[in-house]
Amino acid sequence: MLMTQRQALEVLAQHRGGRIVITTMSSITIWPELSNSPLDFHYIPSAMGHGPGLGLGLALAQPGRGVIVVNGDGCMLMNLGSLVTLASHPAEVFVVILDNGLYEVTGGQPRPGVGQTDFALLARGAGISCVCHFTTLADWQAGAAAALSGPGPAVIWLKVEGRLGQKTPKAPRPMREQIERLRQAVTACV
């Protein structure tokens, strides 16, 4: 049985440490219930595919802090080139792919390549050597600490259940407020 997105994110919340966490699309609806850190950033405007780039920029600007980008499988497919960019600019970026096989927030349509797309193979082919794949909650719980340790970039591919009937997510705070909150949090620690 596949883990739910909530279960996957609960494990991530337990192991995030002091890292910045960027959520995109469907994870935005769950993460604020698990964390209210000023290091949380809910990236919504035209977010599909752009989370890894934002994460890389923050990781390069804040060396040693680390950034976790929670991306859906649809978002990852929108910008597979970001994997090559991450491999070319080593930084402590952990891309967590929540793979439910759906474009959840646009009506639950199956995404292209369901059952055929191997995100671990794509990440390794892009040059990322730290790649993990978890299909059960028990395996993710047992492997999360190791998967989120060490230098980045890293890709963590989690198979999760789809949630039909989801609506386009809304960030819990206006973008301007999120930007200021994150800016204050990262500059306070410099």
**pLDDT 10s per residue in the chain (190 long)?**
789 999 999 999 999 999 999 988 778 788 888 998 999 988 765 567 778 998 999 999 988 889 999 998 888 888 888 999 999 988 999 999 999 876 666 666 666 677 788 999 999 999 999 999 999 999 999 999 999 998 889 999 999 977 655 555 666 666 677 677 777 778 775 5
Give, for 182, the enclosing helix (H) or strand (E): helix 175-188
pLDDT of residue 102: 65
Burial class (CB in 10 A: 0-12, 13-18, 19+), 102: buried
pLDDT of residue 101: 74
pLDDT of residue 184: 78
pLDDT of residue 178: 66
pTM: 0.86
Torsion-angle region of 107 (φ positive above 0: left; ψ -120 to 50: alpha; else: beta): left
Query: Cα–Cα distance between 106 and 168 in angstroms, integer?
Result: 7
Query: Cα–Cα distance between 25 and 19 in angstroms, integer?
Result: 20
Residue 160 corresponds to which tokens in the numbers above? 């999760």
- Domain 5-188: CATH class, spelled out: alpha beta
Query: Cα–Cα distance between 123 and 82 in angstroms, integer?
Result: 10
Query: Cα–Cα distance between 36 and 151 in angstroms, integer?
Result: 25
Query: Cα–Cα distance between 175 and 53 in angstroms, integer?
Result: 17
Query: Cα–Cα distance between 180 and 183 in angstroms, integer?
Result: 5
pLDDT of residue 91: 93
pLDDT of residue 44: 64
